[in-house]
Amino acid sequence: MKSSNSDIKALFEPKSVAVVGASSQPGKIGYSVTRNILQGGFKGKVYPINPKGGAILGMDAYKSVGDIGGSIDVASICVPAKFTFDAVKECADAGVKHVQIITSGFSEVGENELENKIVDYAKSKGTRILGPNIFGVFSSSGNFNSTFSATDVLRGNVAILTQSGALGIAMIGKTAVEKMGLSAIVSLGNKADVDEADCLEYIVQDKETNVVLMYIEGVKNGEKFIEAVREASKVKPIVVLKSGRSARGAMAAASHTGSLAGADEIFDAVAKQSGLLRAESLEEAFNWCKFLAYAPMPKGRNSVIVTNGGGIGVMATDACEKYGVDLYDDQIVLKEVFEPATPDFGSTKNPVDITGGAQASDYDLALSAPTKSDEMDSTLALYCETATFDSENLAPMIRDTYSKHMASGKPVTYAIVGGESVEGAITELRRKNIPVFPDVYEAVSCMGALYRYQKMLKERDESVAEVDVDLKTIDKIIDGAIADNRTFLLSTEGQDVMDSAGIIIPGAGIGKNIEECINLAEEIGYPVVMKVVSRDILHKSDAGGVALDILNKEEVIDAYEAIMTNCRVYKEDAVIEGIEVTEMVQKGVELIVGARQDPQLGPIVMCGLGGIYVEVMKDVTFRAAKLNRKEATEMLSEIRSYPLLLGVRGEEKRDIDIVVDTIIKVANIIRKVPRITDIEINPVVVYEQGKGLKAVDVRILISK
Amino acid sequence: MDKLVIAGTRKSAGKTTIFTGLGKALGKKVAYMKPFGDRLIYRKKRLWDYDAALLTNIFGLEESPEDITIGFEHAKLRYVYDEERVKEKLHEIANNVGKNKEMLFVEGGRDLAYGVSVYLDAISVAHYLDGKLVLVVGGNDDNIVDDITLFKKYVDVSNVDFAGVIINKVHDIEDFKNTYVEKIKEMGVNVIGIIPYVPELSYFTMDYLSETLFAKVIAGEAGLNSVVKNIFVGAMSSNEALRNPMFNKDSKLLITSGDRSDMILSGLETNTAGIILTNNILPPSNIISKASEKNIPLLLVSSNTYQVASQLEKMEALLTKDNAEKVSMIEKLIADHVDVKLL
């Protein structure tokens, strides 16, 4: 998966760059790219390429890349689409390491064939392709700006990887206004070759980068993506903004970049699992990035709110619950720490209310207190404009208390609400990267993101739960099904797969006639369940192909009759292999455990509330299938119906451990058997602790 | 007690319908049995035939429908019964249901051959029970004449009292009478009745559909009695659908996927008896509310649109016990078009 670090580094810190399609005419992309490279302080060699030759921005232009003669790290292609393949070919033949294709008109408009041709040729020569359909790359470490952005890029500590060109260019402008400097910005475009996984490898190691922001619409190679973000998030916080969440959004993403947005709840789950911080909006993403770039990591989870208004204090409390910020509650310590700063009619409970009469000096006292206390780890400072406050001291007070927090290694955010003077203070302070917000939820959400990141780092477990699965047996079963021209396994085959992984299934057999069914029922022991076995009937219940709670021989005969008759009516030409006779499992809590090869994210495992209403209740959670026991336990605990497993209304606790084992086993199957595309075990009937579970019905789909 | 065995030459000839009408037309106390079931209902481990359940209800019989059918499936019948046992069982049921009754109706299987290998075809049953055999023939005119001719030419009914034929679902009675009846009589076959085709008898209700398709009713329960007269598969844009004359026919059943909000809304705004939502996809709640408001049933099924359309293609609009209107219509048809004196 990994590109070599030194290779990808050349994209960000090239020593030489060629601009194919360079131009001396202002307004042309080839001009802007060349100009930005020069004005960006690039110290390496720049080769403008134009078949007409001549002089471009004070340099002699080469007529072709082949004329250069030396090694070239990066070539930026600015020629029309119809000339792009030839341009890439020239570059690849000349041994260029990275080609950035600015040009659009490829897979985003359906020209997949041309795009694939370009990538294939480049790959054959060892050249990597960034794009097409991009605005270029900026890298502070490399003093390299190969974008065609009109705005100078303000340098700083945030790196951006963006799949949207227009949004990316707009972000350059916005970051400049917000004074949020960039260490790098990479336009990924169509991601025909180089993608975010490749770039992350370099970016998180870059000392200029403190935090990474990714805007993505779709993921092409899920397993590669997951592995890359897991590794990267260990090093630096990664904020992701992913669009295509809604059905309409997904359609827009498909037509925008030809990306499949995929099921959003799956992405969300995998993002959390991989340590990504998912923002809801561009504003939120920027807020988090600015904050995370400079905020110190808190030593603990004790937060305190200091406010001059009760209402905003309550809002902040709500926000803390929403964003997972724990509020410090030791009343004695709070009183001790804040009493000097709080009038008698105020409150030293958390939120600490220093009342509407507080002046800047009172704030200074109140906000300095947590910086000296070992009990408090972070602060949320709230201010509502009052008529009596010395507003000219607002910004100085915030600057001062912020410095104190930074000096003590404690993060702080401010939410200040008011008129013109307040708005002015916000603008002035944000330009100095002090985390001040006009809305309390914005302030708390930043702190929440920091705490989530901290928790992720602390609780991180890189282990992967491996179990022994009899792969040979499973492959043989699949070979048999494929030979039979099927893309699904029969229920007996599914049970054999379960058996190969050690997942407990009820006793079962297939009877081809009444006599065999009777014998099986008597061997397994009543009560039994009888189900039709047919490649042509997938939804057995709908076909009337299931009979439950069969207690004796006469009922076996009746059930056989009913199933055969119903199935023939349901699908006249159905090939009926026989009737499966299985043990009738006792009642328990019904769960669903499944897995699939997600077209975006690779092997995914799922668990949730099972039974016939699973598609209506949709109480399921997801994870990437490369998971450990802790992650499997967490995903189970996240289902809304989890309390049923803990025992409700006097019922015993269920065997949660074995459910976790089953999730891990299913995850192992989907990872190790790529020909299996979908597994669904529904219901998994779970019994009391120590009494295990039974995988009652298994559906497995395969691909040829 | 007289015994009347009605056999059909093909599936859905109309045997049950004819029994329904004869019950009243004959003016006698009737009993009913259906030895070889073909419309199985299996619930709570009980098996019974749909027609048996229907007719015991319509005739107000005391017997449980389970007790008037011997079986449904060849393998089971072969396993449990031989010819002697079949005869015994037939007589046992006939005696039980026929107590204090003047006439026993015995319904044959779906066609003449059905059940012959397990001794339960209509001709064997008529023979064992010493009953009168009536043949019901339906379909297009050519099929009708072919079936009667085949029967007369090749089927041996020498050990059975063959009463004649009732010709059912004829589109143009006068034309049929003028063209074919004489020829049939010349073959030596009694024509007991010629019943016209009535389109209303082929309609079904949304309630019937929801049962047949195992659908979940998610809105519009109050409209489940709506009758479906036309079917439209919504597989194009709603604009195109609205332009299609078939979409604007009355009492239509619309079949479309649950995420086709545009199509569903178009259906709700036009003359629609009900909507089947396929692929188990629930539409947005505002659409469900609208359907509820308009009492237009939304039926949710897990199959895809093609599967549902195929099922409907093969579906028969069976009579239901609650459909008093249809029952009256049938009673009148039989009274007007069948010479019951010949029975």
Query: pLDDT tens, A536-556?
Result: 887 788 888 999 999 999 999
CB pairs under 8 A between A and B: 54
Query: pLDDT tens, A417-471?
Result: 999 999 999 999 998 999 999 999 999 999 999 999 999 999 989 899 999 999 9
The interface predicted TM-score of the complex, written ipTM, equals: 0.77
For residue B214, which residues of chain A lie inside 8 Å, CB to CB? 541-542
Instruction: Return the closest-CA partner of residue B338 out of B168, B201, B192, B198.
Output: B192
State the Cα–Cα distance between residues A368 and A403, nearest whole angstrom: 10
Per-residue pLDDT at B5: 96
- Please count the other Cβ atoms lying within 10 Å of the Cβ belonging to residue A230: 18
Reduced to 3 states (helix: H, G, I; strand: E, B; else coil), residue A579 is strand
3-state helix, strand, coil in chain B (%, to 5): 45, 25, 30
Cβ <8 Å between B40 and A565: yes
Nearest to A555 among B45, B259, B280 (CB): B45
Q: Nearest chain B residue to A617 by CA: give it.
A: B282
The neighbouring-strand residues paired with B299 are B217, B276
Q: What is the Cα gyration radius of chain B?
A: 22
Q: In one letter, which amino acid is A264?
A: D
Alpha-carbon torsion (A603, A609, A611, A615), positive or negative: negative
Q: In one letter, which amino acid is A86?
A: D
With cut-offs at 50, 70 and 90, classify the pLDDT of residue A6: low
Reduced to 3 states (helix: H, G, I; strand: E, B; else coil), residue A33 is helix
Nearest to A557 among B76, B280, B303 (CB): B76
Cβ <8 Å between B282 and A616: yes
Cβ <8 Å between A549 and B302: no
Cβ <8 Å between A559 and B45: yes
Q: Nearest chain A residue to B301 by CA: give it.
A: A542
Tell me the shortest Cα–Cα distance from A538 to chain B, in angstroms. 10
Which string of b and e fits A84-115 if b means at least 16 CB within 10 Å?
beebbbbbbebebbbbbbbbbbbbbeebeebb
Per-residue pLDDT at A261: 47
pLDDT-wise least confident of A220-234, A244-258, B16-30: A244-258
With cut-offs at 50, 70 and 90, classify the pLDDT of residue B48: confident
State the Cα–Cα distance between residues B171 and A687, nearest whole angstrom: 63
Best interface-test mutation with B: which of A526, A536, A565 has the largest number of B CBs within 10 A? A565
Query: pLDDT tens, A655-675?
Result: 999 999 999 999 999 999 999
Q: Which helix (H) or strand (E) holds A382?
A: strand A378-384
Cβ <8 Å between B79 and A547: no
For residue B280, which residues of chain A lie inside 8 Å, CB to CB? 615
For residue B282, which residues of chain A lie inside 8 Å, CB to CB? 616
Q: Nearest chain B residue to A564 by CA: give it.
A: B73
Tell me the shortest Cα–Cα distance from A511 to chain B, in angstroms. 13
Q: How much is the mean pLDDT over chain A?
A: 92
Q: How much is the mean pLDDT over chain B?
A: 91
pLDDT exceeds 70 at position A47: yes
Q: Are A565 and B72 in contact (CB under 8 A)?
A: yes
State the Cα–Cα distance between residues B42 and A538, nearest whole angstrom: 20
Q: Nearest chain A residue to B283 by CA: give it.
A: A616
With cut-offs at 50, 70 and 90, classify the pLDDT of residue A217: confident
For residue B72, which residues of chain A lie inside 8 Å, CB to CB? 561-562, 565
Q: Which residue has the higher pLDDT, A356 or A151?
A: A356
Interface of B with A (CB under 8 A): 40, 42, 45, 47, 71-73, 75-76, 79-80, 214, 259, 280, 282, 302-303
Per-residue pLDDT at A1: 42
Per-residue pLDDT at A2: 47
For residue A549, which residues of chain B lie inside 8 Å, CB to CB? 45
Query: pLDDT tens, B136-176?
Result: 999 889 999 999 999 999 999 989 999 999 999 998 999 99
Q: Give the strand pairing for A546-550 and A528-534.
A: antiparallel
Tell me the shortest Cα–Cα distance from A543 to chain B, in angstroms. 9
Instruction: Return the closest-CA partner of residue A184 out of A192, A172, A198.
Output: A172
3-state helix, strand, coil in chain A (%, to 5): 40, 20, 35
Q: Are A513 and B75 in contact (CB under 8 A)?
A: yes
Query: pLDDT tens, B59-118?
Result: 888 888 889 999 999 999 999 999 999 999 999 999 999 999 999 999 998 899 999 999
Nearest to A615 among B45, B80, B280 (CB): B280
Reduced to 3 states (helix: H, G, I; strand: E, B; else coil), residue B308 is helix
Cβ <8 Å between A560 and B45: no
Cβ <8 Å between A539 and B303: yes
pLDDT exceeds 50 at position A71: yes
Per-residue pLDDT at A255: 53
State the Cα–Cα distance between residues A244 and A215, nearest whole angstrom: 11
Q: Which residue has the higher pLDDT, B238 or A246?
A: B238
Share of chain A above pLDDT 90, in %: 78
With cut-offs at 50, 70 and 90, classify the pLDDT of residue A5: low
pLDDT exceeds 50 at position B224: yes
Cβ <8 Å between B75 and A561: yes
For residue A565, which residues of chain B lie inside 8 Å, CB to CB? 40, 72-73
Q: Nearest chain B residue to A562 by CA: give it.
A: B42
Query: pLDDT tens, A91-110?
Result: 999 999 999 999 999 988 88
Tell me the shortest Cα–Cα distance from B72 to chain A, in angstroms. 7
Tell me the shortest Cα–Cα distance from B75 to chain A, in angstroms. 7
Best interface-test mutation with B: which of A516, A558, A579 has the largest number of B CBs within 10 A? A558
Cβ <8 Å between A513 and B75: yes
Instruction: Return all residues near A28 (Cβ < 8 A) that are at least 6 apart.
Output: A78
Token pair, residue A337, equals 């720490």
Residue ranges in A196-307 assigned as alpha helix (H): 196-203, 222-235, 247-257, 264-274, 282-294
Tell me the shortest Cα–Cα distance from B341 to chain A, in angstroms. 37
Q: Nearest chain A residue to B316 by CA: give it.
A: A569
State the Cα–Cα distance between residues A30 and A18, nearest whole angstrom: 11
Q: Nearest chain B residue to A615 by CA: give it.
A: B280
Per-residue pLDDT at A262: 60
What's the rounded mean pLDDT across residues A486-497?
Answer: 89
Q: Give the strand pairing for A576-583 and A589-598.
A: unpaired
Tell me the shortest Cα–Cα distance from A562 to chain B, in angstroms. 6
Per-residue pLDDT at A281: 93
What's the rounded mean pLDDT across residues B260-269?
Answer: 92
Cβ <8 Å between B73 and A560: yes
Reduced to 3 states (helix: H, G, I; strand: E, B; else coil), residue A89 is helix
- Please count the other Cβ atoms lying within 10 Å of the Cβ belonging to residue A23: 23
pLDDT-wise least confident of A2-11, A684-693, B138-147, B284-293: A2-11
Cβ <8 Å between A547 and B42: yes
Cβ <8 Å between B45 and A549: yes
Cβ <8 Å between B47 and A557: no
| Angstrom distances, CA of residue A634 to CA of A269, A601, A695 | 11, 20, 21
Per-residue pLDDT at A253: 58
What spatial distance separates the first Cα and last Cα of chain B, rounded to whole Å?
Answer: 13
- Please count the other Cβ atoms lying within 10 Å of the Cβ belonging to residue B244: 12
For residue B219, which residues of chain A lie inside 8 Å, CB to CB? none
pLDDT-wise least confident of B31-35, B133-137, B208-212: B208-212
For residue B42, which residues of chain A lie inside 8 Å, CB to CB? 544, 547, 558-559, 562, 566
Residue A32 phi/psi, 5-degree rounding, is -60, -45
pLDDT exceeds 70 at position A497: yes
Residue ranges in chain B assigned as alpha helix (H): 15-25, 50-58, 74-80, 83-97, 122-129, 141-154, 173-176, 182-186, 206-212, 238-243, 261-269, 285-294, 305-314, 324-337
Share of chain A above pLDDT 70, in %: 97
Per-residue pLDDT at A530: 95
